Structure 1
Amino acid sequence: MSTAVPVRHGDYGIDGDFRVVSARGQAAIITAIIVALLVLTVVAAVGGWTVLAVVTALLALAIALVTASYLWTTRAGKFRAWARVLGDLQLRGDEHVLDLGCGRGAVLLMAAQLLPRGRAVGIDLWRADQTGNGPEVTLRNAEREGVTGRVEVVTGDVTRLPFDDNTFDVVLSSLVIHNIPSAADRQTAIDEAVRVLRPGGRLAVADLLATGRHRARLRELGLTEVRRRNLGPHMWWLGPLIPTRLVTATKPGEKSQ
């Protein structure tokens, strides 16, 4: 199946924690640090302090490369990675899909584009872990992508999903569960995802932390085909130091036709 990334017409913002310092503020701080290091490099080189000049130049380069990696992931790379993940699911097109922590709809709307006869539901608390996060933004992006009729957004907590058992054919989540402070609540989010998943349904959770624990919990809950893999450079945060890993699993039972 093709994993080509469709042309995106929506605005999906920048991923990150902006509760204390805004995205612009963080960008200004990083720029100031790089400029200061470059100035120090020039001063050290002119003064004959070769080792200091090399160290500061390398630091400036490292920060610039890490920042570039981060921006690539949030603006382009994650779409490429999720195009492959969604392609691997081989959706029929009539599934009921849930996106946990959908944000501005990056993954939610990519899924919706694959569901001409299905429906994609996104749930979020709309906190400031993404620029301009809000349900109205997600719905506006859905309109721009031409999938408004297939998309629903819900305000809610992923540890207390407001859905009945066995509701969804597929449950997705991208970089959300690690934001939950408590390990117990992170496990509850996994439990809830499994609860609302139909027998034969599939789960795909991409995250930064505790993916090994997610995998272990899914096995405890009796899911099958439980796997974990690194999504590679397209979803590196701060370069290879913080990769994204994907956990996939299938809920036992007969798959709906």
Structure 2
Amino acid sequence: MIDISLPQFEFPVLESGWVWLAGAGPGDPGLLSLHALNGLQQADVIVYDALVDERILQLAGNETEIIYAGKRGGKPSPKQSSISIKLVELAKSGKRVLRLKGGDPFVFGRGGEEALALVEARVPFRIIPGITAGVGGLAYAGIPATHRGVNQAVTFLTGHDQNGVAPDQLDWDALAKGSPVIVMYMAMKHISLITEKLMNGGRSAAEPVAVICNATQQHQQVLDTTLGSCADDIAKSGLKPPAIVVVGDVVNLREQLNWIEPALARTSQKEEEPAL
């Protein structure tokens, strides 16, 4: 167990019958917050999502029950209502429950739905934010979400709605004209339709785009492309979700700010060096 005691700081206690809804961050275990780590080490039960790194779960106590509740597109997954009911049942039985979600629970993580279910069942809870992939994944690709002189606004959107289709309630023309940088979650499935809508709204086909797969992981992959070529390039690349797609001139900064690939190269070189 990791000692996370800090001078002059008292960590909260996860009490029996409580649920902590915590973000695990975008993948790299080092991006986990201290509050989330504290919850991992106190919980009787951890209910975790598909995008939570297995190394994070290894930080839990030896006696902790681990329950998988991952939801992946195109694969058999538990219903959201079933997950919420499970959280309530565990808490009502007196368990100390940590609900661990990839990224941030309140950014396309359906954490709000689970929190409302807890409210309705009168189960006390705590929200622990996490680094969302739309920020952390960009940073690990060397792309700032905002940069002075480039953009004063950024829009986060999901590439499909609750029915798995491209969201038609979005005003794509307004997004195309009004947001200099667009960061899209879960957009690969409908990327051809999305890029068409953005170009029809006035975005240039030459606008830079980056597709970040397995964000912040050692096997992270980044595809540099353009809005007009994006769909074809993704198809040719063989890249698979989960992925973040970012559209805008901040992508051009990646050429200078790509810090992760040199860092990984140095790590690999050290591992290959013979011991003296």
What is the TM-score with the length of structure 1 in the denominator?
A: 0.31
What is the TM-score with the length of structure 2 in the denominator?
A: 0.30
Pick the structure with more helix per residue.
1
